[in-house]
Amino acid sequence: MATSAHPVHPLVGKTAGSAELHEEAANYLPGGVTANIKYFDPYPIAMESANGARMRDVDGNQYIDYNLCYGALMLGHGDPRVKKAVLEQMNRMGTTVLGTPHRLEVDMARTLVGLYPGIDTVRFTNSGLEATLLAIRLAMAWTGRPKLAKFEGHYHGGYDQVLISVNPDRRSADQLPSAHPDSMGIPDYYLENTVVLPFNDLDGTEEILRRHGHELAAVIIEPVQGGFIPPKMEFLKGLRELTRACGALLIFDEVKTGFRVGLSGAQGRYGVIPDLTALGKVLGGGFPVGAVGGRKEIMDICAPPPRAADILSIGSQRKGRAASDTLFHSGTYNGHPTVLAAGMATIEALRRPGVYAEVEKATGALRAGMEEILRRNGIPGQTVGVGSIFNLVLGEGPVSQVQDILRSELTLRRRIDYALLDQGIYVKPLNRFSLSTAHTPDVIEETLDRFERGVKLTIKGR
């Protein structure tokens, strides 16, 4: 139980139901959660229902939600257009899943090809994690090279190859990043075959690529780090040229930025086109989804080989191709019709004229209001973000990479976040803020009132 000196103390008094549920869950789930990211001290708040921009926990407390399932819900909770599309799909097909090709796969793939300049063809997966995994496999098969380069502080999923230097230690400005595992159980093989680069540092990136470029199958990057630290244009354009020069593919992990910084993601916003793109989150309309798209000649290596009886009629283009010549990719639930129905409904809603302008206007108003409240209360701070995502960084220096976040006032930020939870603003401590079409001007005004109360309570409790 937290003491009065602990920043979560006021919250503990009103979330007894969450505490009890977490204690029960710990008997059946390691740590009482189904994913480590869902946990925070002293226990995560368990939610019971949600609608629009708001959630209700098991104790009946109401929150304005800025987590939005880590950004997945661009239309907010329970959007009627999404629910209608899902129900109509199930009624029309008479089932939840077919396990065969179906029309929605083609419709969604055509939609993504039309929206994302770096996508010629598409394969669906069940999560953003699976999407980045497939993109890396495609790159290694295409280039025949053994190593991957990723950026310090960038998260691409919880698997061995990329769970490296996501949460790095602080380093001096004259040091380059190095590979460190973020979990037990990661074999040395991946540390030896993963090169870590400094985001928004073109000179440092070039220096490392000069040494390792000939070994690299790909460079994978969140074009907007964590969904909120924007790239410098000279850096992103320079990275595109550096990867071309060394023969490595450039993979954009747009799981966070896809449909959040615009209909065409970061590549559409910044005009830098990758070889492969990974998508997820918003694409599923609240259901688990992922997709990989890219240049046709690269994507085609995961096409199934022709039947033996058909090889002679196909001719020399694929003559003699065997199963071992194909990059294997499969999954029982890939292209799940219920998920794609929700995703198509979400995209159609986002295509309405002015939708992104409205959400970004609301985001700008919230960011400006939060910064003004911090100034009035003598707390150095800023909001950093792109499109409908931002984060609160307590410090006045420029923020261009994860090291700048590590140098900010993280302890104070955590205290404010717990005070915000107490005031009915839901954001996981130290996490980014995501907005949706449900975050209307009245919701923003109410949020700013609660935010100011939370900041003042934090100051009072210091």
Give the separation between CA 256 and CA 427, rounded to whole angstroms: 16
456 given a catalytic annotation: no
Question: Alpha helices, DSSP H only, in 48-150?
Answer: 68-71, 80-93, 103-115, 128-143
Task: For CA atoms 345, 349, 351, 352, give the dihedral sign.
Answer: positive
Task: For CA atoms 204, 205, 208, 210, give the dihedral sign.
Answer: negative
Run of H or E including 192 = helix 188-192
Name the 3-class secondary structure at 347.
helix
Task: For CA atoms 447, 229, 219, 317, give the dihedral sign.
Answer: positive
- Which residue in this structure is represented by tokens 């100034």? 375
Name the 3-class secondary structure at 433.
strand
Look at residues 114, 385, 138 and name the one whose alpha carbon lies nearest to residue 251. 138
From 57, 281, 356, 417, active-site residue: 281
Look at residues 328, 221, 330 and name the one whose alpha carbon lies nearest to residue 272. 221
CB atoms within 10 A of CB 173: 8
CB atoms within 10 A of CB 366: 23
Residue type, 23: E
From 79, 201, 253, 275, active-site residue: 253
Q: What are phi and psi of 211, to 5 degrees?
A: -85, -35
Give CA 145 to chain center in angstroms: 27
281 given a catalytic annotation: yes
Per DSSP, the residues of 234-277 read HHHHHHHHHHHHHT-EEEEE-TTTTTTS-TTHHHHHH----SEE
Query: With contact defined as beta carbons under 8 Å apart, do 44 and 55 qualify?
Result: no
Which structure tokens are listed for 113? 């090809």
From 43, 116, 155, 426, active-site residue: 155
38 given a catalytic annotation: no
- Which residue in this structure is represented by tokens 């602990």? 6
Q: Please identify every residue annotated as catalytic.
A: 155, 253, 281
